[in-house]
Every structure is written in structure tokens, then in C-alpha cells.
Amino acid sequence: MFIIHPVDASGNIAELRPGTGTIRSAEDAVDILGNASYANCTKVIIHSASFATGFFDLRTGLAGDILQKFSNYRMRLAIVGDFSHLKSRSWRDFIRESNRGKMVCFMPTVEEAISVLIK
């Protein structure tokens, strides 16, 4: 399910393997959080293709529900992918604001995600 990236004593980074399933609900996110925590990981990387299509439509509320779970459990999250197809101004603003914060970021590569998450 995960690729584990060893980091330091504060915890490892769990990368959800692409193609291991689709995240369709907040409950799916809680399962990922539990599995990552069990693997001694304090941060998670998820590829954008792992999310159900509705995730990228802010009107569905799915993105908010899922990201809120990561925030509630204080587990940092990096979403990796090409976000250039998201033409919505709301999404562009959301990504920009998320990248300024500490809990959730959107990065083009796993390497960049790891770099951000270890800071």
C-alpha cells in the first residue's frame, strides 16, 4: 500500500502507491491516516490520480472533507501531480494558499513533496 521514505526521528513519509485504489470519501482518508500512523509515518504523499474525480470539483465538498481529516489528525499531506488542467480560479487560489501553509501542499513531483514535507 505504501512506499516508506525514511526521514528522521520525527517520523517517516508514507507515499500511497499509485494505482492501489481510489480515495472516494473522508472514511478512505481516515483508513490511510491509520495505516500511515501504524507504519510510524507522520507525513503522507498521495498522487492526484488516486482521488475520485469529484475531489477536484470544490462544489462536491470532497476535497474539504478529506483535507480536514488530515488536519484534524495533524498529519501533513502532499498531493503530487500536474494541476495545470484545473482551470478554476478557486482551485488555483486553494492550491496557492495551501502551499503557503504547513499541513497540505500540492507539488509536481514526489521529490519536491519530500523536500517540502521534511522542512
Give the SS3 label for residue 17.
Answer: coil
Q: 17 near 49, Cβ under 8 Å?
A: no
In this structure, the number of other CB atoms found within 10 A of the CB of residue 69 comes to 19
User: Residue 53's pLDDT is what?
Assistant: 87
* Region for 40 from its dihedrals, namely left if φ exceeds 0, alpha if ψ lies in -120 to 50, beta otherwise: left
Q: 41 near 32, Cβ under 8 Å?
A: no
Q: Which residues of the chain have pLDDT under 70?
A: none
Separation in Å, CA 29 to CA 26, 35, 84, 93: 5, 10, 24, 23
Topology of 2-117 in CATH? Transcription Regulator spoIIAA (3.30.750)
**pLDDT tens digits, 25-39:** 999 999 999 999 999
Segments making up each domain of the chain, as ranges: 2-117
User: Residue 42's pLDDT is what?
Assistant: 93
Q: 107 near 79, Cβ under 8 Å?
A: yes
